[in-house]
Chains A and B, each alone.
Chain A
Amino acid sequence: MKNRIKFFVILALTAYTPMLHAQGIFTMKGIIKDSATDSPVTSATIRALKSRQFAVSNRDGTFTIRTGNHDTLIISNVGYTTKAVWINGEHNITVLLSESNAELQDVTINTGYQKLKPNEVNGSYVVVTNKILNQQTGLNILDRLNGVTSSLLFNAGKENNNPQNTTGITIRGLSTINGPLDPLIVVDNFIYDGNINNINPNDVESITVLKDAAAASIWGARAGNGVIVITTKKGKFNQKIQVDFNTDVIVAEKPDLYYNYQIPSSDYIDFEQLLFSRGYYNPKFTSTLHPAVSPAVQLFQDRKLGLVSAEDSASQIDVMKQTDNRNQYTKYYYRKGITQQYALNLHGGSQNLAWLVSGAYDKDIDNLRADYNKVNLRFENTYRPLKSMTLNAGVYYTNSTSKSGLPAYSLTASINGIQQVPYMNLAGTNGEPIAVPNTYNQRYIDTLGGGRLLDWNNYPLTNYKHNYTKINTEELLAHIGLDYKIINGLDLSLLYQYQKQRVQNDYVSDTAGYYARNLINSFSQLNRATGVVTYIVPLGGTLNRAYTNLSSYNFRGQLNFDRTFKEMHRVNAMAGMEVRDEWTDASNASYYGYTANPLSVSANIDYLAKYPNFITGAKSSIPNSSYLTHIENRFVSFFSNASYTYGNRYILSGSMRKDGSNIFGANTNDKWKPLWSAGIGWNISKESFYHFLWLPYLKLSLTYGVSGNVDVSRTALPVAQVNARSVYNNLPNASITALNNPDLSWERAYQTNVKLDFGLKKNIINGSFEYYHKRGTDLYAQTPYDYTTWGIGNTIVANAADMKGNGIDITLHSNNFNRRFKWTTDFLFNYNTSITTKYYGSTATTTATFIGAGNTIQPVIGKPLYAIAGYKWGGLDTQGNPQGYLGDTLSENYTAIQQGAYNDGIKSGSFVYIGSATPLYYGSLINAFTYKGFELSVNIIYKFGYYLFKPAFSYYNLALYGTTGSGYEQRWQQPGDEKKTDIPSFVYPVNAARDNFYDDAEINVIKGDHIRLQFVNLGYSFLRNNHKLPFNSLQIYINAANLGILWRANNDHIDPDYVNAIPNPKTYTFGLRANF
């Protein structure tokens, strides 16, 4: 069964009988039946509230009870959901009781402040249960939300300069333009700022996603983008010892390097020859910097200088033309990636003590031999010394080490890290490493220094062993808490959590590493008379070590009140205060002359003196990356949340919160932000007038709330920051880091949510429809300003933007077959648009900023935050020049077209607005089949209604970077070709404006719509009953993920999630899960 949020409730059906007795006490009759089977329910208890009478149903489900004309019957039975029935003079009633689904009772909404039942809540949320989380595999818990969580979108390929956009996840689209974009991550009770990879997915019980303002507002100012609450597993009282064991192996195939277009080597060499003949590379051979050139260009130069014969040159060129270095990458670089995971969990409990101990070990070696090891240890204890008091304490310890592997395809066969050379070999015929030009001309450094310098070559194939990054992360998360029942219904809880994450980041280049050799050589001073080399940078390796210590403590005091008065009035409220202090201490240091074994470094490095570069003579000092920082953010919050439920039918709820933080340079008033929300819910199906038997559950709720957002780096006063001392004047110095703006205030985000939950009879289909509207005002906006004042940056941040968004979330769960063979379907549908409604500045009024864009937020009034526009395409002229439009006329003045577009907007006639660059419609379809012990689930996700630019052909990119979209073979070469092709002719000098125009033309926009097979999961469970095995349950499973695209709208074979990147390789998981 799927763990959907489901509501099984009793339908109170009143059989209307004419009133015989207008007043007074009388005996009424009734029958209680199971809503699904229509069979009688025996031994149910019936209480009449007013008359204080009590009855039990008979074998045939009938009962009699003495009651008045106006009374309420409370009917309950084990295994069924308790229901209230209003009596209005009826003498004979039939009551249908619904089986209380055990699964439903397990579903708890953990907001991080309260644990609530779905029917007590008006806000909008998704609960992802352990079972669903287990359907996907991998090391990152958040990744397991992909494809199974309504309204959650994993943004592929979107960039943002915002350092707070680390998850790539948006919940219900965007709420801010320039503020932080990440949802708030909460682990158990507190905000989690550590590395999410430290949380072992096996330790997670469930995840609650808080979507609307009413749900999220309890988390206050940082919850504007929604909240993801991760709840970890706990021990339970009165439970025998349980042992859970889980292990799996994930195999990742080699990635498909042939997915992206790469120009054939022969074409590329022809192109290089063309450029060479026009003198394009001449500056590289005359420059005193002696920049690196590709092997073919070097050969052309050698031929030109007569250093190589025509035959030798031709045969070498022939060999290069036959070479496609992707073969070498596939052979020497990439391997299958292997991930192994082991997790053991012991838990149990006596009457007063519940405990849990768990340990996990993960090992991952990826496709490029990067290595990752992680150990998790966890202890959780809950102790009940008194009936009214519970103490709990826990420790979560993580230790992980990662080491970088080989550089990815395209990064090494490149010159200066810029130009990709498709024929560049990485290994010789016997697999020996080949030197790849890096910074300097290969020919030049080969002879430089007469052999007295260190080898100046870079060998990417082996360099990763000597030049690598090693990261060690240790995290300790410890908490202690106390719950004390003051009086019945009123609890006091105190919570404290301490977190410390220590990250040690070593960037190592040992003696053989290219980085160290290059640095030592660059600083070497050769006395040409004596041949003596003076080493300014000591011989040996280099080590750059950075420590980042993230610490935080949280304290929360909270009073909880939960009481039902006279059966009809339920009040659930809480209030409290919270303090959070998080601080980061970071340090960094460089070491030279480093050897690891025996450990030694050189002392007394002079970082101020300047020495000439061996090649260029330019003077510089030895790089010194030392720094110390201390960053500390403090938060204080007062919060309260209350709901009142009347007769299980009407729910009124509200929350209030006031957040303060230590924003530097702000006035005291600006440090505090009040936030609130309100909601109303109506259980229509519990009304006495409700008669729809086929729709036994129907609930409508409406919420509204305000949340906020503040960026602590933006200030009202001019704030200076101390800089490192300069190598010039060596004086203490500081600079202003942000232009002071006294008018800056908090961002505000409003959200309205309407939600309809329903369940069909026998639960054939249940689900919810939601509509929401978001509005953001006073949003931070990068506002163009007159930088004559400050001189730094073209924009300043002001509260100058508004936006609105709206959307629809639909979740449907259907039980298609429910016999021995079970088939369920879950369908998630989300629609979302986020539109800029106000933005200061001239660029915000023209959709020209969308030309060539799509991956960054571009605020334009009335348009989506991510969108695409392209130049109007006028075809090629008879000389193969691309043509655009200036007004109505064809033009080849690309600069004028561009300037016209930016200055006059859409009126210029130069370009067309195309549409959103993020999916407007997205969701997933999950089918699960169960037969005997077998379980198969298939997850399909879809994204519709968006556009993107495909990689287009560009001479400019080809010349500079060696990479381009396809089209070289189809380029215009002779008059008449313009009828067959859209690829422009070659012109020299390479015209960047012309290529940019072509790349950003509308013909290179494609639809992003696609359907993807996200994963297939097949499991088989052995049950003790069936197999007499020494465990309670044993499940083996196989999972296949990243299976690729089922359907796409574009004909270019482009995966819209990976436009310029290689798609994640397919992974296969083999796993075992046992419970003893």
Chain B
Amino acid sequence: MNNQIKTSSVCLFFIFVSFVFVSCNKYLDKKPNDKLFVPTTLTDLQSLLDDDANMNLRGTPSLGEASSDEFFLNDGEFNSLGESDQAVYLWQNYFEEGSETDWGDNYVPVYTSNLVLETIDNIEKNADNQVEWNNVKGSALFYRSYYFLCLLWNYAKAYDSSTSGKDPGIVLKTSSDFNVKSVRATNEECYQKVINDTKASIPLLPAAPSVLTRPSKTAAYGLLARCYLSMRDYKDALLYADSSLQLNAQLMDYNNDADIPDGIASDEPFKIFNKETLFVSVIDGDNWIYITAYIGSVDTTLFGIYDVNDLRRTAFYKDNADGYKYFKGSYTGDSYNFSGMGTDEMYLIRAEGYIRTGQIQKGIADLNTLLSKRYATGTFKPISTTNQAEALSDVLNERRRELVMRGLRWMDLKRLNAGGANITLRHTVNNTTYTLLPGANHYALQIPDDIIQITGMPQNPQ
């Protein structure tokens, strides 16, 4: 080989190397996994919000449900539980850490909402995309508020307007940056944040969603109704429950309904996305609530307040092997416990609002509308009373009968006791009776220990 060829081959080599060098940054821009993307577009953001595993099914708090009075354990069941589960059942100090807790699980949809809200500011809203843009922003505001409220019911004391400016609430996380330090806002700030953001979401959301895992105006009104109810602001609760019912007031007839395809006697009789559902969420199945799912039995007092003709006795309950009942009436159509919102809950909030604001007949009418769909055909005798206390007792009992295992009882206990209802909970195990007194510190449940250690936030006293 002559030198010329040798020289040119060296040159070619170096030309090749420099060519590759220039192009290799481009070469390295290839995504390592085709399923990955950095969310930037409205479609990206909508797909994050449609991640129902995290946004709807990851679970609303279970600790409150596990601490309330809808089920009981017999001694054998209690003794087979671990130490922490036993402590929760007896309203004693328990030790909890880690993200797989109510605390962690409820901040997952909060994070996604924050990321969406941060990103959407960079997307221009125009005539072509405004429907999608509005839906994304409105949904993110709704989801965040929804889970903030769930967390408040679990981890903060019952709302009391005289102390809410000082009572510690939850962390109002509004950024996806983990370097932002967590602090507990006051109960007042927290409830106002939920109210303001939910109100801001209403003009952005569609009246009815394409699928009930997505938020809607109907659901946002419902969320406000719930929020005001738990604040014992019954006037506003009534107002927003009514707004929600104006958009959707359908009820299933438990005698016969397309959404109960196999009849109420079947296991898990209700279809998911049935006509009563406004928004789907479930109680966290992994943490504490398994106590209710397969081991425990329904509280006998609770089961005792149903009329024999009440179809909910059949729709909601089934016999355990030991003769007690277990709950099977979730609106999810499966073994998850539904904690979302439904028209039945709106009827009950509106009824309570009417009754508490003196419009007793309107409230009774709402109750009768609901109950006529819950009794076996021909057996329903409408309620008729003019006594406010009686009517209130009726509506509160109806809440217990209708909203079983929906994660609402803990909030009801808190607000009712704050209003002087004086309800004491009792559990008897191994011949010892344990009580939870009204207004006990335990009503504001403990924040995971590691979070307290890392952030230095004040723990709820026990």
Contacts and interface: CB of A to CB of B under 8 A. Distances in A.
A718 interface: yes
Contacts of A629: 33-35
Interface centre among B51, B180, B266, by most chain A C-beta atoms within 10 angstroms, is B51
Contacts of B266: 612, 617
B454 to A, nearest CB: 5
Interface in B53-79: 53-54, 56-57, 74-77, 79
Interface string B179-192: 01110000000000
Contact of A739 (B39, B56, B178, B450): B178
Given A577-B17, A636-B27, A664-B36, A618 B267 contact: yes
Contacts of B13: 492, 557, 559
Interface in A629-649: 629-634, 636, 638
A899 interface: yes
Interface stretch (B109-117, B232-240, B356-364, B379-387): B109-117
A280 B30 contact: no
A617 to B, nearest CB: 3
A486 B211 contact: no
B98 interface: yes
Given A618-B334, A619-B333, A786-B451, A288 B326 contact: yes
Choose among A619, A718, A721, A787 the residue with the greatest number of B CB atoms under 10 Å from its CB.
Answer: A787
A788 B54 CA distance: 15
A279 B76 contact: yes
B211 A794 contact: no
Contacts of B103: 787-788, 791
B182 A557 contact: no
A486 B47 contact: no
Contacts of B455: 786, 788
Given A288-B326, A788-B107, A793-B99, A735 B54 contact: yes
Contacts of B294: 287-289
B48 A734 contact: yes
Contact of A788 (B50, B173, B267, B328): B173
A693 interface: no
A992 B81 CA distance: 10
Given A612-B267, A788-B455, A791-B110, A735 B51 contact: yes
A577 B451 contact: no
A734 B37 CA distance: 9
A345 to B, nearest CB: 35
Interface in B112-130: 112, 115
B162 interface: no
A836 to B, nearest CB: 20
A723 B51 contact: yes
A736 interface: yes
B16 A631 contact: no
B36 A789 contact: no
Given A618-B268, A632-B30, A791-B111, A731 B38 contact: no
Interface string A638-665: 1000000000000000000000111111
B75 A279 contact: yes
Contacts of B389: none
A787 B99 contact: yes
A610 interface: yes
Contacts of B112: 735-736
Contacts of A988: 79
Contacts of A388: 1
Contacts of B295: 283, 287
A733 B451 contact: no
Interface stretch (B18-26, B241-249, B368-376, B393-401): B18-26
B104 A664 contact: no
Interface residues of A, number: 85
A622 B322 CA distance: 31
A842 B453 contact: yes
A638 B294 CA distance: 62
B307 interface: no
B420 interface: no
B265 to A, nearest CB: 11
Given A733-B52, A787-B99, A631 B173 contact: no
Contact of B33 (A664, A736, A740): A664
B9 A784 contact: no
Contact of B328 (A286, A484, A617, A796): A617
A992 B82 contact: yes
A791 B36 contact: no
Contacts of A788: 103, 107, 171, 173, 182, 451, 455
Interface in B127-184: 171, 173, 175-178, 180-182
A720 B76 CA distance: 46
Contacts of B451: 786-788
Contact of A664 (B31, B182, B267): B31
B53 A789 contact: no
A319 interface: no
A785 B454 contact: yes
A786 B180 CA distance: 9
Count chain A CB atoms within 10 A of each CB in B17, B74, B98, B111 and give the residue with the most.
Answer: B111
Contacts of B258: none
B99 A794 contact: yes
B182 A665 contact: no
B10 A784 contact: no
B44 A720 contact: yes
Contact of B80 (A285, A784, A989): A989
A283 B76 contact: yes
A729 B56 CA distance: 10
Nearest to A576: B17
A526 interface: no
Interface in A721-738: 721-723, 726, 728-737
Contact of B36 (A610, A617, A618, A721): A721
A991 to B, nearest CB: 8
B38 A720 contact: yes
Nearest to A785: B178
A195 to B, nearest CB: 21
A756 interface: no
A722 B83 CA distance: 39
Given A610-B333, A723-B51, A788-B171, A286 B321 contact: yes
Given A283-B76, A719-B37, A786 B52 contact: no
Contact of B83 (A791, A792, A993): A993
Interface string A469-511: 0000000000000001011000010000000000000000000
Interface string A772-806: 00000000000011111111111010000000000
B31 A632 contact: yes
Given A788-B171, A989-B80, 12 more contacts: A282-B77, A283-B77, A287-B295, A557-B16, A619-B333, A634-B32, A665-B38, A731-B50, A734-B48, A736-B111, A788-B182, A791-B108
Interface of A: 278-280, 282-283, 285-289, 386, 388, 484, 486-487, 492, 557, 559, 577, 579, 610, 612, 616-620, 629-634, 636, 638, 660-665, 668, 671, 712, 717-723, 726, 728-737, 739-741, 784-794, 796, 842, 895, 899, 988-989, 991-993
29 contacts: A278-B79, A283-B77, A287-B294, A486-B10, A557-B16, A559-B10, A577-B20, A579-B20, A617-B267, A618-B335, A630-B34, A632-B33, A636-B24, A660-B24, A662-B27, A664-B36, A671-B28, A720-B47, A726-B51, A728-B280, A733-B48, A734-B51, A786-B182, A786-B451, A789-B182, A791-B111, A792-B108, A794-B98, A899-B95
Interface of B: 1, 6, 9-10, 13, 16-17, 20-21, 24-25, 27-39, 44, 47-48, 50-54, 56-57, 74-77, 79-80, 82-83, 95, 97-99, 103-112, 115, 171, 173, 175-178, 180-182, 211, 213-214, 266-268, 272, 280, 294-295, 318, 320-322, 326, 328, 333-335, 450-451, 453-455
10 tightest A-B CB contacts, nearest first: A617-B267, A791-B108, A282-B76, A791-B107, A618-B335, A789-B178, A286-B321, A989-B79, A619-B334, A630-B34
